[in-house]
Amino acid sequence: MFRDVSPTLGPSQFSSAIPPPSPPFSAHNDPLDDIYGSAPNSPDLTSQPPADPAHEILSDLPSRQRALDTDAYREGLANSKGQYVQEGFDEGFSLGANIGQHVGYIFGVLQGIVNALATHNDARLAEAEGLLQSAKKELAIEEVLGKNWVDEEGIWKWEVEDKSEDVTFSEVANCHPVVRKWMDSVADVAKKWGVDLQAVEKGLQPEEEEEQSPPKNASKHLLTLRPTLTRSTIAPSLVRRLQTTEWQPARPINPADLPKPKPRKIKPPFTRRKWVRRLFAVSAVLGIGYTIDTQFNASAITRSLRTFKTGLLVGIDYKINFRAHPPLAASIEHLHERNAVRVFDLLGNNGGLYLKIGQAIAMQSAILPPAFQKMFAKMFDDAPQNDWREVEKVIREDFGKSPEEVFGVSFSGEPGKGVMEKTARASASVAQVHWARLADGREVAIKIQKKEIARQVGWDLWAFKVVAFAYSWWFKIPMYSLVPYISERLMLETDFENEADNAEEMRKLVAGESRLNGRVYIPEVYRDLSSKRVMTAEWIEGVRLWDKAGITNRWQGGWRAGSPGAGGAKLPPIRQTNGNPDPNVPAGTAKNGLLKPDRLSWKGHNGKGGLGVSLTEVMGTIVDLFSAQMFLWGLVHCDPHPGNIFIRRLPSGKPEVVLIDHGLYIRMNPKFRHQYALFWKSLLAFDNDTIKDIVSSWGVNNPDIFASATLMRPYQGGDNSTLNELRNGATGKDQQERAYEMQVKARDGIKQILGDETKWPRELIFIGRNLRIVQGNNQFLGSPVNRIKITGLWASRALTESLDLSYTERWSNWVKHLRFRSVLVLTDIVFLWSRLRQALGLGRGMEEDIEERMRVMAKDFGVELNHGVFEG
């Protein structure tokens, strides 16, 4: 009889902590000795296998041990899974079941690994137990479903990666940061110790229970069986001679055998509420911010955001479409048109300092595309004026008193008091001007800054800097280093104390220059009635420079009489019975008590009279004034447009030029002033070497282009290399490609002028603006004077008179000046010839002839000039 030497072992006989017994190796020489029941010799506990491995039959006990280990792993996983699913539900959260299932899986895997390693008392067991304890601590229900991760309404606080609108609780649980961390840790541990999690999961899936008969030829099967684990990773192998029965481990009840729940796609109501709350919160914040900005910050932030939006749109549009065949525009001209509208709308909607920037651009609009020229011609229209209540607030904030107390006026006709108009006589981008008569009879112009400017100017200049920086980097135009200087000048223009200082200094300089005293008048500023945002100055009665008919028509004011206030004379007193107030106030404004008399009797009964003065003398005085500012004094008024220049008639019949609005000034240091005077003199003397040396020290890479831009006419005294290159023409196949090539050359020309921006004198920005406006004034009046000759003479004479130079240098410059005057005879001949042709109807004047030549040169640069910036 065969006796069964392999005991029948059930799961109850092997706990997770007690390893199954391992029979020792037997060292019998007869391989069939155990089969026939021979009495065994003393056990041989050596771990060496039999000497003859060919006759060795491996025992099934290692397989049993592996099966038991796997069973223990599955049992731990199943029990832990069920336990923590229940705990998740007990916590009362809808999400708890799904998170508990993941937590149970993690505990099950770790517990199974601990059970499997219980038979191996080594460092791996201690490491596995440590991981299990850490997992139990971090994955406790009160931790994973605590307030750190789930709010009181059951809404999770972590981000869910699923992008669809409908998410399941299972998907939400998968994204729990702590759960995801431990799922990754479990995968790493399994990989490290060779555990096949997929096989384990497969064993947990429900299977069809089928009765299986014991396999036939079991002995033959066992003879060919090889263990999957090496001897080094398990306990010493137990070698048996024969396995006579089939062993199957008992399988514990597994929750995975139950039908798998089908996940239901849900859209939790709290998820919808979450987005509704977020939308409401964002809308509330934006609404509150907009209200605060508009009511208490003069819309400064809103204006800046509007600037960034427009700047981004314009920049992207040009970046994509500035090419021969724009992909998103019909042509380059169409591209210019739509962006001109965008920029113009931005400046108009923002107002304030943006209008001042727009006017500065309009002065240089001749070099802009025609679409921009057309839009920016409207920049000189009067800006809307503020209501009187806003004006009164500014006065009270600066003086701490009411307008009546500050200026001694009465709005109710109180005897002994002065009067003041609540309707502004002029309104510009930064301030508006009101007329008043003080109690002592003086008539004054009260310039009051608009209330919102103080809060807007900082934001506006910051936005200007940001956009300029972005465009400099984006389009590779070296101009950002000039922006701080421009911003500083614009900021000073909002400081009326600075304007008063400039006006007083210019008044003294004019009074001390015999060639201008009596021809130029600077209004007196009353400092006791002025502040940082309010400036009170002498009221000026006169004709604006743009009123050509008012300047030249026949004088009807009487012999040896001048216009009101000419020469600083006191204005005639207001008659008590005067019922003819001056109606000349901006259109569309409330006529609140017009009190200023018209004083237009010098126009005659038909109102068609004028000052009857010579345009040549008027324009000659203007050119003399600004040439002296540039070359003699180094203090330059940079905003001499026709609205800031009045003309009056002196009793002698000569014109008197009155200059107002002294906010935008620049100061030239002596070295730069001498260089600039020598540069102008060299331009007219065709001293190309000197020109090149000077402009090179300024960082200009192309002297010819810079000289032409300074003269406002083509400079032909150099080597003409630039013009010759441009006149070679474009090589494009069609008109659009040629136009694109020309505009690229224009952009490159700007880069050549700027050159090294670190050396470029910042003052040239505003000096160029001054020259451009004066040139436009001369052209508007019909080119009555040789502007270039007058400017050149002042430049040469300043080098002989400047007290900053030594006596020897001035004497040398006198000799050169005499030679220079002989050279200028040629320009006189050209000017007289131009005037003759103009008188015969064959030409339009010297400035127009220069303009025509400039248009030809500019067209080579791809620029279409249009210098009629003051028309309309």
Higher per-residue pLDDT: 868 or 777: 777
* Same domain, yes or no: 143 and 14: yes
Alpha carbons within 13 angstroms on the beta-carbon side of residue 384 total 9
Nearest one of 602, 613, 608 to 556, comparing CA atoms: 602
Higher per-residue pLDDT: 730 or 794: 794
Nearest one of 105, 40, 42, 35 to 76, comparing CA atoms: 105
Q: Cβ neighbours of residue 171 under 8 Å, at least 6 residues apart?
A: 160, 162
Confidence of residue 32 (pLDDT cuts 50, 70, 90): very low
- Alpha-carbon dihedral 850, 851, 853, 856, rounded to 10 degrees: 170
Distance of alpha carbon 241 from alpha carbon 30, whole angstroms:
11
Confidence of residue 473 (pLDDT cuts 50, 70, 90): confident
Overall number of domains in the chain? 2
Give me the mean pLDDT over the 701-729 stretch.
61
**627 domain-assigned:** no
Coil, helix or strand for 18? coil
Question: Is the distance from CB of 77 to CB of 109 less than 8 angstroms?
Answer: yes
Higher per-residue pLDDT: 147 or 620: 620
Alpha carbons within 13 angstroms on the beta-carbon side of residue 398 total 24
Which phi and psi angles does 428 have, rounded to 5°?
-115, -165
* Single-letter residue type at 222: L
Question: Is the distance from CB of 758 to CB of 822 less than 8 angstroms?
Answer: no
Q: What is the pLDDT of residue 68?
A: 66
* Single-letter residue type at 241: R
Question: Is the distance from CB of 522 to CB of 506 less than 8 angstroms?
Answer: yes
Q: Give kind and range of the element (H or E) at residue 666.
A: strand 665-667
Q: What is the pLDDT of residue 485?
A: 87
**53 domain-assigned:** yes
Q: What is the pLDDT of residue 44?
A: 45
Q: What is the pLDDT of residue 217?
A: 41
Residue 422, Cα to own-chain centre: how many angstroms? 40
pLDDT digits (tens, 9 = 90+) for 670-686: 999 999 999 888 887 77
End-of-domain residue from the set 458, 484, 510: 484
On the question of pLDDT at 252 being above 70, the answer is: no
pLDDT digits (tens, 9 = 90+) for 237-250: 334 444 455 666 76
Q: What is the pLDDT of residue 742?
A: 67
Distance of alpha carbon 99 from alpha carbon 169, whole angstroms:
9
Range of the domain at 396: 297-484
Give me the mean pLDDT over the 513-533 stretch.
95
Q: Give kind and range of the element (H or E) at residue 434.
A: strand 431-437
Q: What is the pLDDT of residue 42?
A: 43
End-of-domain residue from the set 484, 509, 541: 484
* Same domain, yes or no: 192 and 91: yes
* Same domain, yes or no: 259 and 350: no
Higher per-residue pLDDT: 507 or 639: 507
Place of tokens 């640069």: 861
Q: What is the pLDDT of residue 247?
A: 64
Q: What is the pLDDT of residue 854?
A: 45
Q: Which two tokens stand for residue 329?
A: 């525009």
The conformational region for residue 869 under phi > 0 = left, psi -120 to 50 = alpha, else beta, is alpha
* Same domain, yes or no: 260 and 309: no
Q: Which two tokens stand for residue 470?
A: 């972005």
**452 domain-assigned:** yes
Higher per-residue pLDDT: 8 or 429: 429
Give me the mean pLDDT over the 591-602 stretch.
78
On the question of pLDDT at 627 being above 90, the answer is: yes
Q: Cβ neighbours of residue 572 under 8 Å, at least 6 residues apart?
A: 564, 599
Confidence of residue 579 (pLDDT cuts 50, 70, 90): very low
On the question of pLDDT at 362 being above 70, the answer is: no
On the question of pLDDT at 434 being above 60, the answer is: yes
Distance of alpha carbon 725 from alpha carbon 715, whole angstroms:
15
Range of weakest confidence among 274-288, 584-598, 747-761: 584-598
Distance of alpha carbon 583 from alpha carbon 470, whole angstroms:
47
Spell out the alpha helix ranges (H) of 28-166: 61-90, 96-116, 123-138, 141-144
Distance of alpha carbon 563 from alpha carbon 196, whole angstroms:
108
Q: Cβ neighbours of residue 698 under 8 Å, at least 6 residues apart?
A: 675, 755, 759, 760, 761, 764
Nearest one of 534, 770, 787 to 635, comparing CA atoms: 770
Q: What is the pLDDT of residue 7?
A: 40
Nearest one of 370, 366, 439, 383 to 409, comparing CA atoms: 439
Q: 416-422: long-range contacts at Cβ-Cβ below 8 A with a sequence spacing of 24 or more?
A: 419/595, 420/446, 420/595, 421/592, 421/593, 421/594, 421/595, 421/596, 422/388, 422/391, 422/592, 422/593
Distance of alpha carbon 519 from alpha carbon 521, whole angstroms:
7
* Cβ density class 294-310: b for 16+ within 10 Å, e for less: eeebbbbbbbbebbeeb
Q: What is the pLDDT of residue 843?
A: 65
Q: What is the pLDDT of residue 18?
A: 42
Q: What is the pLDDT of residue 230?
A: 40
* Same domain, yes or no: 302 and 249: no
Q: What is the pLDDT of residue 155?
A: 72
> Could you tell me the CA-to-CA distances from 272 to 78, 151, 166 in Å, in that order?
36, 15, 11
Task: Tell me the percentage of the chain whose pLDDT exceeds 90.
Answer: 23
Q: Which two tokens stand for residue 42?
A: 């003393």
The per-residue DSSP string of 613-648 comes to --HHHHHHHHHHHHHHIIIII-EEES---GGGEEEE
DSSP lists the bridge partners of residue 447 as 433, 535
* Cβ density class 364-387: b for 16+ within 10 Å, e for less: ebbbbbbbbbebbbebbebbebbe
- Report the alpha-carbon angle 5-8-11, nearest 5: 145
Q: What is the pLDDT of residue 861?
A: 42
On the question of pLDDT at 46 being above 70, the answer is: no
Q: What is the pLDDT of residue 92?
A: 46
Range of weakest confidence among 155-159, 552-556, 643-647: 155-159
Confidence of residue 476 (pLDDT cuts 50, 70, 90): confident
**727 domain-assigned:** no
Distance of alpha carbon 286 from alpha carbon 289, whole angstroms:
5
Residue 222, Cα to own-chain centre: how many angstroms? 80
Range of weakest confidence among 6-10, 114-118, 379-383, 776-780: 6-10
* Same domain, yes or no: 258 and 310: no
Higher per-residue pLDDT: 57 or 81: 81
Q: What is the pLDDT of residue 514?
A: 93
* Same domain, yes or no: 224 and 177: yes
Most confident range (mean pLDDT) of 353-367, 368-382, 504-518, 566-580 is: 504-518
pLDDT digits (tens, 9 = 90+) for 377-400: 666 656 788 899 999 999 999 999
Distance of alpha carbon 601 from alpha carbon 339, whole angstroms:
48
Distance of alpha carbon 143 from alpha carbon 342, whole angstroms:
57
Neighbours of 78 (CB within 10 A): 22
Distance of alpha carbon 772 from alpha carbon 758, whole angstroms:
24
Question: Is the distance from CB of 241 to CB of 29 less than 8 angstroms?
Answer: no
Place of tokens 């002042």: 794
End-of-domain residue from the set 459, 484, 509: 484
**251 domain-assigned:** yes
Neighbours of 43 (CB within 10 A): 11
* Same domain, yes or no: 331 and 242: no
- Report the alpha-carbon angle 866-868-872, nearest 5: 135
Q: What is the pLDDT of residue 543?
A: 95
Give me the mean pLDDT over the 567-572 stretch.
86
On the question of pLDDT at 183 being above 70, the answer is: yes
Nearest one of 274, 275, 282, 346 to 310, comparing CA atoms: 346
DSSP lists the bridge partners of residue 782 as none
On the question of pLDDT at 834 being above 80, the answer is: no
- Exposure of 706 by Cβ count < 10 A (0-12 exposed, 13-18 middle, 19+ buried)? buried
pLDDT digits (tens, 9 = 90+) for 285-294: 989 988 888 8
Higher per-residue pLDDT: 364 or 253: 253
Distance of alpha carbon 425 from alpha carbon 583, whole angstroms:
10
On the question of pLDDT at 196 being above 90, the answer is: no
On the question of pLDDT at 416 being above 80, the answer is: yes
Place of tokens 């006149």: 727
* Same domain, yes or no: 305 and 162: no
On the question of pLDDT at 40 being above 80, the answer is: no
* Single-letter residue type at 786: N
* Same domain, yes or no: 305 and 251: no
* Cβ density class 682-697: b for 16+ within 10 Å, e for less: bbbbebbebbbebbee
Longest dimension (CA), the chain: 161
Distance of alpha carbon 541 from alpha carbon 15, whole angstroms:
115
* Single-letter residue type at 412: S
Q: Which two tokens stand for residue 14?
A: 């092997």
Q: Which two tokens stand for residue 792?
A: 């050149």
Q: Cβ neighbours of residue 75 under 8 Å, at least 6 residues apart?
A: 16, 112, 115, 252
Nearest one of 237, 233, 221, 244 to 5, comparing CA atoms: 244
* Single-letter residue type at 567: G
On the question of pLDDT at 38 being above 60, the answer is: no
Residue 697, Cα to own-chain centre: how many angstroms? 33
Q: Cβ neighbours of residue 54 under 8 Å, at least 6 residues apart?
A: none
Q: Which two tokens stand for residue 732?
A: 């494009």
Higher per-residue pLDDT: 795 or 150: 795
Helices (runs of H) and strands (runs of E) counted in the chain: 30, 11
Give me the mean pLDDT over the 427-451 stretch.
92
* Same domain, yes or no: 16 and 107: yes
Neighbours of 153 (CB within 10 A): 8
Higher per-residue pLDDT: 859 or 388: 388
* Same domain, yes or no: 189 and 50: yes
**394 domain-assigned:** yes
Q: Give kind and range of the element (H or E) at residue 535.
A: strand 534-538
Nearest one of 565, 659, 660, 661 to 611, comparing CA atoms: 565
**176 domain-assigned:** yes
**333 domain-assigned:** yes
Length of the chain: 872
